[in-house]
């Protein structure tokens, strides 16, 4: 519409100009003429006719070249229009694929997305969504194919592709592949929160506590987790590492770990108990006997007390004397009395052991105390009383099992 208006305005201006020029020339007796010669040919005409012919010639040439330009650009316009049509279809396919994927129509979503991926302005979204759809329907080979195409499209350094790969591998319990992808991403962007969070999940699932230990500073520095969550993770990580070292009976590694544990984690009673138990399991309890005794004095804990009674001491008499000092404050503590009875057995003081264990079951009957008392009575040759003690222990154990079953059924 604008072009038509411009044309009419230009035509009106030309007509007005011709009118004024004609009036101007008409004032003179001789309206002027133009003479052109070429070889034996010549052309003579009035100035007005020449001007009109020039104007018409210009318009014809202008129209010709404009049409020529349109014809030359026509293939490109047709191609561009085709691309636009394909692009619009790919955008519609992306929306349709996302909707189908959300509704659980995995196969339909996959086909729609892949069909139009090459013409899309965002092919990554097509391939990554198709990969999720393929995994959801169990087509792992197809999933890997789409992930490769996404990698080729964006390059190996693309965080979005790598995260999707790692997430899908994790969902399929392909932990080695997930860890490989995440390690590569961490080398590209060591502070990326999603990468660090998924590394945490992967290490936790595969039980790689050494890897988790190395990751904790990054989780804390980059505020990927709350401070309280980091402390809980630290406690769990070092607890697991201590237990692993205990199973390997590696006392040196346990002690090295203990040195590396942050002071705020060491101050928690739970980790201290695990440390003591780990060294005892590694047959190195004698090295921490005094440390455990001091810990019991500073912070009375019956769990630590029981562990103390399990130490393979170098001097059981000294251990017994140390534990007996606590009777002045905890004279009626059934756990302490049971531990004293156990250490007395190691010292081969059966009379003292019987006294401590009898008093312990009198205050609080336990299966362990009855078992130890029965062992003492066997060594003293009192078979009848030993049988009675074992019987009471079995009855108590049975009643505890029944109580547990009833609590579960409720």
Q: What is the pLDDT of residues 100-117, one digit of tens each?
A: 556 666 677 667 666 666
| pLDDT, average across residues 348-370 | 92
| pLDDT, average across residues 269-280 | 87
* 123 vs 282, more confident: 282
Q: Which fold has domain 86-152?
A: 1.25.40
Phi, then psi, of 254 in degrees rounded to 5: -60, -45
Which range, of 150-159, 242-251, 267-276, averages the lowest pLDDT? 150-159
pTM: 0.64
For residue 173, the model assigns a pLDDT of 85
Q: What is the pLDDT of residues 292-322, one digit of tens each?
A: 999 899 888 899 999 999 898 889 999 999 9
* Bridge partners, residue 34, by sequence: 45
Domain locations in the chain? 86-152, 326-410
Taking the chain, what is the end-to-end CA distance rounded to the nearest angstrom?
84
Domains 86-152 and 326-410 share a fold: yes
What is the distance between the alpha carbons of residues 93 and 75, in angstroms, rounded to a whole number?
A: 27
pLDDT for residue 15 is more than 70: no
Q: What is the pLDDT of residues 186-196, one digit of tens each?
A: 888 888 988 99
For residue 14, the model assigns a pLDDT of 65
| pLDDT, average across residues 125-134 | 74
| pLDDT, average across residues 4-24 | 66
Give the residue carrying structure tokens 């070889």: 39
pLDDT for residue 91 is more than 60: no
Model confidence at 123, pLDDT cuts 50, 70, 90, reads confident
What is the distance between the alpha carbons of residues 41 and 45, in angstroms, rounded to a whole number?
A: 14
Hey, what long-range contacts does 182-186 have (CB within 8 A, 24 or more apart)? 184/156, 185/159
pLDDT for residue 156 is more than 60: no
pLDDT for residue 251 is more than 60: yes
For residue 81, the model assigns a pLDDT of 57
What would the DSSP string read from start to end of 306-375? Answer: HHHHT---S-HHHHHHHHHGGGGT-TT-HHHHHHHHHHHHHTT-HHHHHHHHHHHHHHS--HHHHHHHHH
Q: Name the CATH superfamily for 326-410.
A: Tetratricopeptide repeat domain (1.25.40.10)
Model confidence at 282, pLDDT cuts 50, 70, 90, reads confident
For residue 240, the model assigns a pLDDT of 92
Q: What is the pLDDT of residues 22-81, one digit of tens each?
A: 666 666 656 666 677 777 787 777 666 776 677 777 777 777 777 777 677 766 665 655
Average pLDDT taken over every residue of the chain? 80
């Amino acid at each position: 519409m604008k072009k038509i208006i411009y044309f009419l305005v230009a035509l009106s201006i030309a007509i007005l100009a011709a009118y004024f020029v004609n009036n101007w020339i008409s004032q003179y007796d001789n309206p002027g003429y133009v003479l052109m010669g070429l070889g034996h040919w010549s052309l003579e005409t009035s100035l007005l006719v020449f001007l009109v012919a020039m104007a018409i010639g210009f318009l014809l040439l202008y129209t010709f070249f404009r049409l020529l330009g349109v014809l030359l650009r026509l293939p490109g316009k047709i191609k561009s229009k085709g691309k636009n049509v394909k692009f619009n279809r790919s955008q519609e396919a992306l929306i349709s694929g996302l909707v189908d994927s959300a509704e659980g129509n995995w196969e339909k979503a996959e086909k729609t997305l892949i069909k139009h991926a090459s013409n899309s302005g965002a092919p990554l979204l097509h391939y990554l969504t198709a990969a999720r759809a393929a995994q959801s329907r169990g087509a792992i080979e197809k999933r890997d194919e789409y992930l490769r195409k996404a990698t080729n499209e964006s390059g190996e350094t693309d965080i979005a592709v790598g995260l999707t790969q790692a997430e899908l591998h994790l969902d399929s319990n392909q932990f080695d592949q997930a860890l490989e992808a995440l390690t590569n991403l961490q080398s590209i962007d060591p502070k990326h929160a999603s990468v660090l969070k998924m590394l945490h999940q992967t290490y936790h699932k595969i039980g790689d506590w050494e890897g988790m230990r190395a990751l904790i500073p990054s989780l804390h520095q980059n505020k990927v987790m709350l401070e309280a969550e980091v402390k809980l993770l630290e406690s769990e990580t070092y607890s697991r590492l201590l237990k692993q070292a205990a199973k390997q009976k590696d006392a040196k590694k346990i002690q090295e770990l203990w040195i590396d544990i942050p002071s705020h984690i060491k101050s928690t009673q739970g980790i201290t108990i695990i440390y003591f138990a780990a060294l005892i399991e590694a047959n190195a309890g004698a090295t921490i006997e005094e440390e455990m005794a001091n810990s019991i004095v500073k912070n009375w804990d019956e769990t630590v007390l029981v562990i103390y009674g399990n130490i393979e001491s170098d001097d059981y008499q000294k251990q017994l004397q140390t534990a007996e000092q606590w009777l002045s404050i905890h004279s009626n503590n059934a756990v302490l009395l049971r531990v004293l009875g156990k250490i007395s057995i190691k010292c081969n003081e059966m009379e003292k052991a019987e006294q401590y264990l009898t008093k312990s079951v009198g205050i609080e009957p336990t299966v362990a105390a009855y078992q130890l008392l029965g062992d003492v009575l066997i060594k003293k040759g009192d078979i009848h009383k030993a049988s009675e003690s074992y019987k009471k222990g079995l009855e108590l154990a049975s009643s505890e099992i029944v109580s547990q079953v009833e609590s579960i059924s409720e």
